[in-house]
Amino acid sequence: MNRPAILFAALFVSAAVHAAPFEKGDPKIGKTLHDKACVSCHVGMFGGDGSKIYTRGDRKTKTAQQLAARISGCNANTGAGWFPEEEAHVGAYLNQQYYKFK
Ligand code: HEC
């Protein structure tokens, strides 16, 4: 490969990583984990299925990094005991369903 091709490949790879936060997570697994450990308080606060906490206009989470941090924090706070892979599954689910960070 010549030098411009290598540069191009590197750019492409970093763009792809950036384009898909939580790409290692599986949203289906994430939904199961989330529905088990995470909805009770959110429902108490917002009613319905609690998802309004993610879609309200003044939601706190503005970037994929903040979402990841929030999931980690809630994981620790609630004692869900998830591994990093499980946090990634939940991130993939919440991002696909509600946040749509690129
Ligand atoms: C003990 C109650 C409780 C549980 C259980 C809980 N949360 Fe939360 N969650 C909150 C509160 C309180 C907030 C903050 C609301 C605010 O700041 O307005 C919040 C906010 C959030 C937000 C940010 C919403 C926004 O504004 O964008 C995310 C994401 C979130 N929780 C994810 C989770 C996940 C994932 C779990 C499961 C591990 C979970 N929560 C379990 C109480 C809870």
pLDDT digits (tens, 9 = 90+) for 8-20: 555 444 444 444 7
Cβ 78 under 6 angstroms from ligand 1: yes
More confident position, 3 or 68? 68
pLDDT at 62: 96
Cα 42 to ligand 1 centroid, rounded to whole Å? 6
Q: Is the pLDDT of residue 72 over 80?
A: yes
Q: How many CA atoms lie within 13 A of 98 on its CB side?
A: 21
What pLDDT, on the 0 to 100 scale, is given for residue 14?
46
Gap between the terminal Cα atoms of the chain: 30
Whether residue 80 has its Cβ less than 6 Å from ligand 1: yes
Nearest residue (by CA) to ligand 1, atom 22, is 70
The predicted structure's pLDDT at residue 20: 76
**b/e map of 77-98 (b: 16 or more CB within 10 Å)?**
eeebebeeebbbbbbbbbbbeb
Cα(10) to ligand 1 centroid in Å equals: 36
Q: Which of 49, 70, 100 to mutate to test the pocket of ligand 1 (most atoms within 8 A of CB)?
A: 70
Given a contact cutoff of 8 angstroms between Cβ atoms, the answer to whether 90 and 30 are in contact is yes
